[in-house]
């Protein structure tokens, strides 16, 4: 996107609705400009009437007018800034909400393609750049631009010859700003990357703190943390350095300009072509104009930062999902819950040459239990992820009761599917809300029933706050078995017709596993169930077992049939028997 396109987009989607407030800020900026210019202009009659002509009639009036001018400037400046700050924060909120909506709705494959820390940096660092552009840069454009126009008017009114000399610095300042803007855009982009790296590292530290302690890598991580923090510090220093680089240029230009003005003014005064009161009024206007000129010289830098951030943010907001909601399609109607995989192939976009699933053709009977077995990396979990359309096949068709799942409403599909995963995902919330997440409108009685069926109630009742116990980030205050049982409770509450079990008992001890297995038997009764399990003891009673290897289905049958005809399954089974 070009800079103009980014500006148009930000205006159309985010700032257009606040035009009334922006115009209010412009009105206050006009008052700032008028009062500042009036202050400079008032020096003319003040010096002439009071100091030179000793006119007592204006001795009180002009000071009062100067007080009014400064008060008007101060109040108007405050109101202009507050108004634009409010607009900027509203825009910030809307952009962040749009980004969060995009994150929530994004395909899993898109989210997994970029580290969480980078997204957090986009959400905070980049959005703050846009906020600064609105609250500081655009306000300065209004306020300082109008103030400069007002002061230049006073200067030309007092003496046009001196004014022409004074405005020589404006084109020099513009050239400096343009060069700094280009440099700033590059530096801010680099700083955003370093901010993302620091966020990424911080998340990794929290996720892996136990691993760090067990392997005694604290010193190593301290060194790494120093590098990440120092890299961001260096970029931040560079941003500040570039930003204030205009200051020495402006000071030198101003020094030359004032020296030239004093020399030329002296010549004019000596030749009676300029009065002392005109000179002091002109000088005041020129000195007051220094700050607006300096501010306007750096506006390009602030705008460049905001546009650079917009260039990174807008593509995230505009991201088009490959897996769409299919709102215009029909609802899925489940009769038996039979699944058919027909010539299904799949590969992750990041590794397009390596097929994870190859020509999968299998049928999962409705209301029955079907198992997938095979070594890690054989494609079992990926195949399971295709059913709720977490991913879509690159080719081939997956049907439920003869309906292509890509041609039905996504909501109606996922409504009929529950999953109990080996990696349980929980929220830093109460036990009640974690179970209720599967069915927000469920009554507490329904939640209690689901907890009882999943064997959760026996450990919940021992907790001080029972169902109101906050379980911490990712359920850190619960054991692996307790977290797994909460996951099963959610599936009970949802009561869907298709159940996906991915290593649902892998992290449990024998006693807990026995309890969970009883709960799972209740959960999967008369449901279409697809189960992945390394422990073959949990799937021996499956109606059908598919053996997978390197992304392909190589054998199928029930347990007894596979022991006879499948060497892979037989070896797999014997290894587990020998282990036990």
- Residue-wise pLDDT tens for the chain (580 aa)? 788 888 888 888 888 889 899 999 999 999 998 998 888 888 777 777 777 777 777 778 888 888 998 999 899 999 999 999 999 889 989 998 988 888 888 877 777 777 777 788 888 888 888 888 888 888 888 888 888 888 888 888 887 887 887 777 667 766 766 676 667 667 877 887 888 788 888 878 877 777 777 777 888 888 888 888 888 888 888 877 876 776 777 777 777 777 887 888 888 888 888 777 777 788 788 777 777 877 776 777 778 778 888 888 888 888 888 888 888 899 999 889 999 999 999 888 655 567 888 999 999 998 888 989 888 888 888 899 899 888 888 889 999 999 999 999 989 998 999 888 877 888 888 999 989 988 888 899 999 999 988 888 888 988 888 999 998 887 888 888 888 888 888 888 988 899 998 876 665 666 767 777 777 888 888 889 898 877 777 777 788 999 888 888 898 888 888 888 888 888 887 876 655 4
The answer to whether residue 432 is domain-embedded is no
Tell me what pLDDT residue 351 has: 53
Whether 358 and 232 map to the same domain: the answer is no
Tell me what pLDDT residue 174 has: 66
The answer to whether residue 525 is domain-embedded is no
- Give the domain-ending residue among 317, 341, 368: 317
Specify the residue for token string 């200067």: 155
The answer to whether residue 474 is domain-embedded is no
CA-based radius of gyration for the chain:
35
Asked if residue 372 lies in contact with residue 532, where contact means CB atoms within 8 angstroms, the answer is: yes
Whether 230 and 333 map to the same domain: the answer is no
Name, in order, each residue with C-beta under 8 angstroms of 498's C-beta and a sequence gap of 6 or more. Answer: 334, 337, 339, 387, 400, 416, 417, 418, 527, 528, 529, 530
Distance (Å, whole) CA 176 – CA 494: 63
With b for 16 or more beta-carbon neighbours within 10 A and e for fewer, the 302-333 pattern comes to: bbbbbbbbbbbbbebeeeeeebeebeebeebe
> By residue range, what is the domain housing residue 12?
3-317
Starting from the edge strand earliest in sequence, which strands make up the sheet with 403-404, in order? 357-364, 339-346, 395-400, 403-404
Q: Please say whether the dihedral angle defined by the alpha carbons of residues 475, 477, 479 and 483, taken in this order, is positive or negative.
A: negative
Distance (Å, whole) CA 85 – CA 498: 51
Measured in whole angstroms, how far is the alpha carbon of residue 30 from the centre of its chain? 37
The answer to whether residue 37 is domain-embedded is yes
Tokens of 8: 């148009």
Whether 14 and 116 map to the same domain: the answer is yes
Distance (Å, whole) CA 479 – CA 509: 11
Whether 142 and 92 map to the same domain: the answer is yes
Specify the residue for token string 């450990």: 459
Asked if residue 568 lies in contact with residue 422, where contact means CB atoms within 8 angstroms, the answer is: no
Element (H, E) at 196: helix 169-207
In 3D space, the residue among 496, 495, 462 whose CA is nearest the CA of residue 477 turns out to be: 462
Tell me what pLDDT residue 227 has: 87
Q: Please say whether the dihedral angle defined by the alpha carbons of residues 21, 22, 23 and 24, taken in this order, is positive or negative.
A: positive
The answer to whether residue 514 is domain-embedded is no
Phi first, then psi: give them for residue 371, nearest 5 degrees.
Answer: -115, 150
Whether 370 and 402 map to the same domain: the answer is yes
- DSSP assignment letter at 190: H
Question: Collapsing DSSP states into helix, strand and coil, what is residue 345?
Answer: strand
Query: What CATH number does the domain containing 367 carry?
Result: 3.40.50.300
Phi first, then psi: give them for residue 32, nearest 5 degrees.
Answer: -60, -45
Whether 311 and 333 map to the same domain: the answer is no
Q: C-alpha distances in angstroms, 129 versus 56, 311, 549?
A: 53, 11, 50
Whether 330 and 288 map to the same domain: the answer is no
Distance (Å, whole) CA 389 – CA 361: 17
Specify the residue for token string 């035009």: 19
Asked if residue 187 lies in contact with residue 232, where contact means CB atoms within 8 angstroms, the answer is: no
The answer to whether residue 438 is domain-embedded is no
Tell me what pLDDT residue 265 has: 81
The answer to whether residue 444 is domain-embedded is no
In 3D space, the residue among 371, 373, 421 whose CA is nearest the CA of residue 576 turns out to be: 373
CA angle 74, 76, 80 (to 5 degrees): 120
- DSSP assignment letter at 551: T
Domain count along the chain: 2
Whether 100 and 154 map to the same domain: the answer is yes
- Give the domain-ending residue among 317, 344, 374: 317
Distance (Å, whole) CA 531 – CA 503: 8
Distance (Å, whole) CA 489 – CA 495: 10
In 3D space, the residue among 20, 38, 11 whose CA is nearest the CA of residue 94 turns out to be: 11
Whether 61 and 127 map to the same domain: the answer is yes
Asked if residue 456 lies in contact with residue 483, where contact means CB atoms within 8 angstroms, the answer is: no
Tell me what pLDDT residue 505 has: 66
- DSSP assignment letter at 423: S
With b for 16 or more beta-carbon neighbours within 10 A and e for fewer, the 83-109 pattern comes to: bbbebbebbbeebbebbeebbeebbeb
Residue-wise DSSP of 295-344: HHHHHHHHHHHHHHHHHHHHHHHTPPPSS---TTSBPP--SS--EEEEEE
Distance (Å, whole) CA 521 – CA 500: 13
The answer to whether residue 424 is domain-embedded is no
Distance (Å, whole) CA 519 – CA 454: 5
Tell me what pLDDT residue 509 has: 64
Whether 329 and 312 map to the same domain: the answer is no
Question: 201: number of CA atoms within 13 Å, CB side?
Answer: 17
- Residue 509, strand partner residues: none
CA angle 487, 491, 492 (to 5 degrees): 115
Whether 160 and 304 map to the same domain: the answer is yes
Tokens of 438: 């599967």
Distance (Å, whole) CA 238 – CA 516: 58
Tell me what pLDDT residue 330 has: 92
- Give the domain-ending residue among 285, 317, 349: 317
Distance (Å, whole) CA 109 – CA 242: 38
In 3D space, the residue among 242, 377, 363 whose CA is nearest the CA of residue 302 turns out to be: 242
Tell me what pLDDT residue 142 has: 84
Query: What CATH number does the domain containing 124 carry?
Result: 1.20.1560.10
Q: Are strands 552-557 and 544-549 parallel, antiparallel or unpaired?
A: antiparallel
Whether 214 and 287 map to the same domain: the answer is yes
In 3D space, the residue among 540, 532, 529 whose CA is nearest the CA of residue 573 turns out to be: 540
Distance (Å, whole) CA 45 – CA 69: 15
Longest dimension (CA), the chain: 121
Element (H, E) at 370: strand 369-373
Tokens of 388: 């709720």
Distance (Å, whole) CA 456 – CA 454: 5
């Amino acid at each position: 996107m070009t800079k103009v396109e980014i500006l148009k987009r930000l205006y159309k989607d985010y700032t257009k609705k606040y035009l009334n407030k922006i115009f209010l800020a412009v009105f206050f900026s006009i008052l700032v400009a008028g009062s500042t210019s009036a202050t400079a202009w008032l020096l003319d009659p003040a010096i002439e009437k009071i100091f030179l002509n000793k006119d007592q009639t204006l001795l009180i009036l002009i000071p009062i007018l100067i007080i009014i001018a400064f008060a008007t400037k101060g109040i108007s400046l405050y109101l202009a800034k507050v108004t634009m700050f409010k607009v900027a924060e509203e825009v910030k909120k809307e952009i962040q909400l749009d980004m969060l909506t995009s994150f929530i709705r994004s395909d899993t494959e898109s989210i997994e393609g970029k580290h969480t820390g980078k997204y957090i940096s986009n959400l905070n660092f980049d959005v703050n750049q846009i906020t600064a552009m609105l609250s500081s840069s655009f306000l300065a454009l209004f306020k300082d631009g109008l103030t400069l126009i007002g002061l230049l008017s006073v200067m030309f009114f007092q003496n046009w010859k001196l004014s022409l000399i004074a405005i020589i610095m404006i084109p020099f300042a513009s050239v400096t700003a343009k060069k700094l803007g280009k440099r700033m855009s590059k530096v801010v982009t680099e700083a955003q990357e370093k901010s993302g790296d620091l966020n990424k590292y911080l998340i990794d530290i929290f996720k892996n703190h136990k691993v760090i302690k067990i392997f005694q890598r604290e010193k190593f991580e301290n060194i790494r943390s120093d590098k990440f923090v120092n890299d961001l510090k260096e970029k931040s220093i560079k941003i500040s350095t570039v930003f204030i680089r205009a200051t020495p240029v402006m000071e030198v230009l101003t020094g030359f300009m004032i020296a030239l003005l004093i020399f030329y003014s002296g010549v004019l005064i000596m030749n009676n072509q300029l009065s002392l009161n005109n000179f002091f009024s002109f000088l005041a206007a020129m000195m007051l104009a220094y700050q607006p000129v300096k501010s306007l010289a750096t506006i390009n830098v602030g705008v460049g930062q905001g546009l650079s951030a917009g260039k990174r943010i807008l593509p995230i907001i505009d991201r088009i999902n490959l897996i769409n909601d299919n709102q215009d399609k029909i609802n899925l109607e489940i009769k038996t819950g039979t699944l058919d995989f027909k010539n299904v192939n799949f590969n992750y976009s990041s590794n397009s040459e390596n097929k994870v699933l190859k020509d999968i053709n299998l049928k999962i009977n409705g209301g029955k239990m079907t198992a997938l077995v095979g070594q890690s990396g054989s494609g079992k979990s990926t195949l399971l992820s295709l059913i709720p359309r977490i991913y879509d096949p690159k080719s081939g068709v997956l049907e439920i009761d003869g309906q292509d799942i890509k041609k039905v409403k996504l909501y109606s599909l996922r409504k009929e599917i529950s999953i109990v995963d080996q990696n349980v995902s929980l929220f830093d919330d109460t036990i009640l809300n974690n179970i209720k997440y599967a069915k927000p409108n469920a009554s507490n009685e329904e939640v209690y029933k689901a907890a009882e069926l999943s064997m959760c109630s026996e450990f919940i009742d021992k907790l001080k706050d029972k169902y109101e116990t906050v379980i911490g980030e990712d359920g850190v205050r619960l054991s692996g078995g307790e977290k797994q049982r909460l996951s099963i409770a959610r599936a009970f509450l949802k009561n869907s017709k298709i159940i996906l079990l991915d290593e649902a008992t892998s992290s449990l001890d024998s006693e807990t596993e026995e309890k969970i297995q009883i709960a799972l038997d209740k959960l999967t009764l008369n449901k279409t169930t697809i189960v992945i399990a390394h422990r073959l003891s949990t799937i021996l009673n499956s109606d059908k077992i598919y053996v997978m290897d390197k992304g392909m289905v190589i054998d199928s049958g029930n347990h007894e049939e596979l022991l006879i005809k499948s060497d892979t399954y037989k070896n797999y089974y014997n290894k587990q028997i020998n282990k036990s």
